[in-house]
């Protein structure tokens, strides 16, 4: 059974870069799934950040595209998120998820989420 686990600093200073890693276990990241990042500001809804295939092909949510980089490390079975020039508006719980590509993309397995606070 696939498991995903997010890790990274829980506190990031404004204007710096947020970096998170998602370790995948019980499933090869090189399979025919995409792998995505989704965030949720406290008390608010879900926002998709971006997704990546094991080949390195990635796509991003347009409003965040200029600040986001998602990468994959197949040797470690993990993928990562970098979000630059953060502000308080980037404070959120960040989830990684497995993305199933059928007729419609769906996120069928999720990590437990990690809270990242942007504050000086």
Partner 1 sequence: DVQMTQSPSSLSASVGDRVTITCRASQSITDYLNWYQQKPGKAPNLLIYAATNLQSGVPSRFSGSGSGTDFTLTISSLQPEDFATYYCQHSYRTSITFGQGTRLEIK
Residues of the shown chain interacting with partner 1 in the complex, contacts defined by CB under 8 A: 36, 45-48, 51, 59, 61-62, 95, 97, 100, 102-108, 110-113
Of 16 and 21, CB closest to partner 1: 21
Least Cβ distance, residue 55 to partner 1 (angstroms): 15
Of 10 and 45, CB closest to partner 1: 45
CB-hemisphere CA count at 13 Å for 34? 19
Least Cβ distance, residue 110 to partner 1 (angstroms): 4
The two beta strands, 114-118 and 11-12, are parallel
Of 17 and 25, CB closest to partner 1: 25
- Sorted by sequence, the CB contacts under 8 Å of residue 44 that are 6+ apart come out as none
Distance CA 61, CA 17 (A): 18
Distance CA 23, CA 34 (A): 14
Least Cβ distance, residue 116 to partner 1 (angstroms): 15
Neighbours of 41 (CB within 10 A): 14
Of 79 and 95, CB closest to partner 1: 95
Least Cβ distance, residue 120 to partner 1 (angstroms): 27
């Amino acid at each position: 059974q696939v498991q995903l686990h997010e890790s990274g600093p829980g506190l990031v200073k404004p204007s710096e870069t947020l970096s998170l890693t998602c370790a995948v276990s019980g499933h090869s990241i090189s399979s025919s799934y995409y792998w995505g990042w989704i965030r949720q500001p406290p008390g608010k809804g879900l926002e998709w950040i971006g997704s990546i295939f094991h080949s390195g092909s990635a796509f991003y949510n347009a409003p965040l595209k200029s600040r986001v980089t998602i990468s994959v490390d197949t040797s470690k079975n993990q993928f990562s998120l970098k979000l630059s020039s953060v502000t308080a508006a980037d404070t959120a719980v960040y989830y990684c998820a497995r993305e199933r590509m059928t007729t419609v993309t769906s996120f069928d397995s999720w990590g437990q989420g990690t809270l990242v606070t942007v504050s000086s």
